[in-house]
Chain A
């Protein structure tokens, strides 16, 4: 096989593997659930094994085919350009969702695995295609569709209402995306006639609209209600894909776009946008952290924890507008996604073992099931991160960009509140065992699911805290800055 053929195959695998594996699951999951492959009572187990294998393959394909291959795969007139952040999210997302599906078990594990497979495939494609309406619209539409799929199969009004909220948000946000793209496309033309809007005002308008899209999709205050309801009512895989992973991909696209847009404008374009973003970021962190500390329902605790974490991204938007060359906000996206996902693994494990949602009923859970307790310890360590590491520098840069003492104090207080919220859940687990917890059967530590959960915890906590260096891959712009040198190997 020639080098060109090898490169072509690797590009094809890289570009299409996650989507191909997701499509394979559509036929394979019903097939393995059929009676000819074993008794019907084990159909859900077979489907679970299959989707876990497909998720691991998806992550593996993105990891292996992507390494060192910076080529573009062309299908007709459409080109799919492998992107570092897309590859990273799929490479990490595959094993993470495989762990969650394994730990969550359950009757709908196969369907949840399919939701994860399609979610990762959409993220991969959206981060690989050229900038414009398509990637953001694709992610928004996929988010709503996957929320509906995750909510299906159960006549639960709360679930349906959560999807309804998501549908409404998607309708508004796709419209905003079209308007933002309209203004963005008008920027190069604005120089032709001084009687029309100036370049700076058009860029400010685009920045405002794009920021609004990010704030709404990540669940920053006052748009947090949708995210909390998603975590409270949808299954954990659906919650994480719709509420965390897809918004993370949208954030990476928009941070990249804002960096390029604003660096091309000489005048400062902050205006009224900056104080709003800084105040929103600081308040969201504080609000999310305190709310997570005060709520009793584990779904709501996780939802508010996600809201609090999204405050960092809102501050990141402000930092990009102030210093478009900074890559610090990009470095915050993946760790935040990983920490919430690890908390999601904890929730899936607690739900599977105890089937309880109230912390009052869950007293003593960590004493009874110490392996699940270790997952929460991992969440705490990942939230704090490695002192002096890249994540701390990125956080310091993002807070410092606002140059506001109130923001610094609010960010520190709310970061402490987020850690305290998780610590409180752990302390509840270390207290006297409740009757429900006491009578729950314990699984041995050497059980494959427990081993997978602990291995996943080590991987995610290590990556999120900065012990394993994965963040750097997502800290690049999705497309090169106009003045950047193009490496010949990058060309199709």
Chain B
């Protein structure tokens, strides 16, 4: 009987468990999760903090999932060391778990930039439920918050905090927010809506120092930017990004670049050891090389592919790419693939912009296929474009229709349309 061990209990683990059980109904599955709480949907912590979603609703997968899939769950236990020769995982309490097939799905951890004063009280990350609860407690007697970092996590924290009635200032290093998923034009549309909702956005700035409060120097009282500007606040959320939690790979033969390197079968450089999700560096179908993609859907699919392969059913990972669907302050935005390119490098950019209505559609092409897409407000057809991109379908013949108001499956050439509609 095969012994499967999964370190990490989030999206990657869920995907792997589902796939393993499809193939192998009897093998032992052990999931080691250092979070003390049952698995929940991490991207939903902003919905929790805003007050829109209960903790119950955040449980993901459903409570009975682990039992139904006959998983032995080790909650609140941290894996501290791997022995890949003896095939064991050592836990914090010195317990050793033996495996035949191992999946490392430990995720990422927040990156904290170097600043003075980070030991003060009132500084939070925004990755886990524990972070969200900490912030919830802290804002009970707060008025102003500074969010350091204007990426997906920073902006989602901002929206939640605004909904809770706080005054929020975002400090972003680059020239526009959400710069990893939006070009400048698209970001301007989102920034406008955020400002209308009372958010202050300081782009092109860094926080140099965290100040104490007048009456208690131990508590956060404000920040000092690189140019000397002081912004008062009671709470700080640090959201400048996550780095892969690769510490288990230390002192092993696992090849690590930024993340743990995996092949198209999600296997690491060591046989029988797999990795997926935020900790892995897996194939990106746009960049055509391995990249770290800290995204929930990518983790779940990667976990699924790893699971099939661990259970002996060979499956190739189709690859992921940067992809984000967001709806901050009521504005739906979907972006995937490349966002900002230089046309001198052989890219072609198709744009539709209605500045007044805040509608934006941008498609980036290279050699006749889509390599990037951004849609604001008018997003329901995003998946059609995404799949043209993912499957690298030649769109030259109908590219002028891609950004049109009327774009739909009816815009496809007949053969392609029939292939898609009759193919399922």
Q: Do A and B come from one complex?
A: no
Residues of A within 8 A of B (CB): none
Residues of B within 8 A of A (CB): none
